[in-house]
Copies of this chain bind each other. A is one copy, B any other.
Amino acid sequence: MEGQTKKLVKLGKDVETRIFDGDNPFIELPVRGKRNVIWDQKAGLLGLGDSKSKRHFINVAHAKKFMQTLLVGAFAKQLMDEKIHASLREAYYSLKHTIKESKENTFDEQKESDDVFVDLEVALGILRDQLHINADRRGVAAGNVVIKDRGDIIDWSKLGSGGWAIPGNVEDLSIESVDADFVLVAEKNATFDRLHEDKFWKKHNCVLVGTQGQAARGIRRLIHRISHEYKLPVYVFTDSDPYGWYIYSVIKMGSMNLAHASKELGTPKAQFLGLTISDIYEYELENAAIRARDVDIRRAKELLKYPWFKHKAWEAEINLMLKKKIKAEQEALAQRHLKFVSETYLPEKIEAGNFLP
Q: Residues on A close to B: CB < 8 A?
A: 79, 84-87, 89-94, 96-98, 134, 136-137, 140, 147-154, 158-169, 172-173, 189-190, 193-194, 197-198, 287-288, 329, 331-335, 337-339
Tell me whether B161 and A93 are in contact (CB under 8 A): no
What are 23 A-B contacts with C-beta separation under 8 Å? A84-B197, A84-B338, A85-B193, A87-B190, A90-B338, A92-B331, A93-B334, A94-B335, A94-B337, A94-B338, A96-B287, A96-B335, A97-B287, A134-B193, A137-B140, A149-B159, A152-B158, A152-B160, A154-B159, A160-B173, A162-B165, A162-B166, A163-B167
Partner of A164, one of B93, B98, B164: B164
Across the interface, which residues of B come within 8 angstroms of A194, CB to CB? 86-87, 90
Complexed CA–CA distance, A134 and B89 (Å) = 32
Tell me whether A190 and B96 are in contact (CB under 8 A): no
**In this complex, what residue of B is CB-closest to A192?**
B137
Tell me whether A89 and B162 are in contact (CB under 8 A): no
Tell me whether B154 and A168 are in contact (CB under 8 A): no
A166-B162, A173-B161 as given contacts; A137 in contact with B338, CB under 8 Å: no
Tell me whether A136 and B189 are in contact (CB under 8 A): yes
Across the interface, which residues of B come within 8 angstroms of A94, CB to CB? 334-335, 337-338
Partner of A162, one of B96, B151, B154, B337: B154
A167 to chain B, nearest CB (A): 4
Tell me whether B193 and A137 are in contact (CB under 8 A): yes
Across the interface, which residues of B come within 8 angstroms of A163, CB to CB? 164-165, 167
Tell me whether B165 and A154 are in contact (CB under 8 A): no
Tell me whether B332 and A93 are in contact (CB under 8 A): yes
Tell me whether A150 and B160 are in contact (CB under 8 A): yes
Partner of A98, one of B90, B198, B287: B287
Tell me whether B150 and A154 are in contact (CB under 8 A): no
Partner of A167, one of B152, B161, B334, B338: B161
Across the interface, which residues of B come within 8 angstroms of A329, CB to CB? 89, 93
7 further contact pairs, Cβ within 8 A, besides A94-B335, A149-B159, A162-B165 = A86-B194, A90-B194, A90-B331, A93-B288, A96-B335, A149-B160, A164-B164
Tell me whether B152 and A159 are in contact (CB under 8 A): yes
Complexed CA–CA distance, A287 and B103 (Å) = 12
The 7 tightest CB contacts between A and B, nearest first, are: A149-B160, A87-B190, A165-B165, A90-B334, A140-B165, A93-B334, A161-B167
Complexed CA–CA distance, A161 and B137 (Å) = 11
Partner of A84, one of B92, B150, B165, B339: B339
